[in-house]
Structure 1
Amino acid sequence: MKNILIIEDDEAIADIVQDFLTINGFESTIVHDGAAGLAAALTKEYDLILLDVMLPGMDGIEVLKKIRSELLVPILLVTAKNEELDKLRGLGLGADDYISKPFSPTELVARVRANLAQFERLNKQEATAPKEHTIGTGDIVIQPQAMKVFVGGKEVAMKHKEFELLLFLMENIQHVFSKEELYETIWGMESIGEIRTVAVHINRLREKIEENPSEPTHIQTVWGAGYRFVP
């Protein structure tokens, strides 16, 4: 049975909403102000939150911001008809949907069901989606499909050829490649007078991933032979 948190200062409206939710097979809890609603949302697991915008003390928009920073749960805003700005702000801050007062309890229940179903579908898709293949060693992690590089947990911007070069070296740890081999592999052309670009890109990579680029520990030069990546 799904459990709904109702944050609504109008006791009559809250009671009507709770009655209709109960009739339709939902459990629910009523809280009448923003601070108490926030505390309830953060201390107990709810399947959906009905959040009135106009609340005493902490208003609904502020409650929304704080809940969304902590929880991934469907949030349905309850607004007055003339609160267009609050609707837009709420959706921009992560509300999933809104319904305007006065509303039909039947419509409200339908919105609750629709948002719960959508949330469950998204969770199922995420759970069954193939995970991103990553290549990592030490504090360096590459997400090949997303073309992202992280060093010490922070994303590092890479140009296309820099990314390809780093990925190739990390896929072939400890293997020594000559400048000619790297140029032909990454740039796809025979190395005719252009292999100096390999050294330029190696230096750029060192600036981005090495703690001390002048004394690299990962992308090492093997004198007279080329470069290798060391974990």
Structure 2
Amino acid sequence: MREDVTKTDAILLVEDDAEIGELISRYLATHQIEAAVVADGRAMDATLAARDFDLVILDLNLPGEDGLSICRRLRDGANLPIIIVTAQGEDVDRIIGLEMGADDYIVKPFNPRELLARVRSVLRRSRASAQTKEPAGGRFYQFEGWRVDIMAHQVTAPTGMKIALTGAEFDLLYALCERPNRVLTRDQLIGLTHGPTASPFQRSIDVLISRLRQKLESDPKNPKLIQTVRSEGYLFAPQVLRA
């Protein structure tokens, strides 16, 4: 059976506990995923400058520059997928990490199989983002002057400006464009954007909705495109055309 990831996938693990880093890298290697391990942000920067990686696993509790600051820098500098690692019960760090653009998270202590599932899921979504298959019915969505190029994964504002979205943000917008004027629950959106390995942490969808509103809405505090349906979920309100 073909693996979901190939031997060309390379992961950078930012983890200051050498024993944990070694265990994770060995486990991922048995599943055809190469993992380099560094202990802090400075070593991470040097390693990223020397070679390319497909994904970063980032522990938030690091010496020197903290993981949240590193997450912000990574997201500002490149569209490299990020999985953050948080301590059990640290919901605030988890939410802030997602707000800063992390694609997923995992809570310590975790089962290596869960980490592998999350890595595969994020890599799968990242690869899907890079593919150029044209969906049935057209390659563009248009709404309220906005234009979404599905093949190129580009979003253009009514002003003509290109708007940068993370992979997770684009997946959410794609799911909404596919299902306009329908109430979608948080569980449905988690399944549509994260797949079968999705976390039950529903607040992650709220954070993703908030991030998307900041980029699409003229007034994010009074959204007209992505509306909240109390006690139910979210509704994408505009008329969506496919071309």
The aligned residue for residue 124 of structure 1 is 131
The aligned residue for residue 65 of structure 2 is 58
The aligned residue for residue 68 of structure 1 is 75
Structure 2: distance between partners of 1:126 and 1:58: 40
The aligned residue for residue 10 of structure 1 is 17
Structure 2: distance between partners of 1:126 and 1:60: 35
1:111 aligns with 2:122: no
The counterpart of 1:98, out of the listed 92, 105, 110, is: 105
Q: Percent identity?
A: 36
The aligned residue for residue 158 of structure 2 is 147
Larger radius of gyration: 1
Task: Give the secondary structure class of the aligned counterpart of 2:121.
Answer: helix
> How does 1:16-95 map onto structure 2 within 5 Å?
16-95=23-102
Deviation at 1:73, TM superposition (A): 1.1
Considering Cα pairs closer than 8 Å and 6+ residues apart, tell me whether 1 or 2 has the greater RCO: 2
Confirm or deny: 8 A CA contact 1:35 1:63 kept in the other structure: no
The number of aligned residues is 139
Confirm or deny: 8 A CA contact 1:54 1:60 kept in the other structure: yes
Structure 1: distance between partners of 2:14 and 2:119: 14
Task: Give the secondary structure class of the aligned counterpart of 2:80.
Answer: coil
Distance 1:149 1:102, change over 3 A: closer
Structure 2: distance between partners of 1:84 and 1:39: 30
Summarize deviations over 1:177-209 as a string: whole Å, max 9, x none. Answer: xxxxxxxxxxxxxxxxxxxxxxxxxxxxxxxxx
Unaligned runs of 5+ in 2: 1-7, 143-155, 163-243
Summarize deviations over 1:3-50 as a string: whole Å, max 9, x none. Answer: 000100011111111011100001111101122123323442100100
Distance 1:10 1:127, change over 3 A: farther
Structure 2: distance between partners of 1:58 and 1:87: 17
Deviation at 1:111, TM superposition (A): 0.5
Distance 1:126 1:85, change over 3 A: farther
Letter in 2 for 1:91: L
Structure 2: distance between partners of 1:56 and 1:46: 22
The aligned residue for residue 181 of structure 1 is none
Deviation at 1:122, TM superposition (A): 2.0
Q: Tell me how large the CA RMSD over aligned residues is.
A: 2.5
Structure 2: distance between partners of 1:127 and 1:65: 32
Deviation at 1:147, TM superposition (A): 3.5
The aligned residue for residue 5 of structure 2 is none
Letter in 2 for 1:12: E
Letter in 1 for 2:9: K
Distance 1:111 1:149, change over 3 A: closer
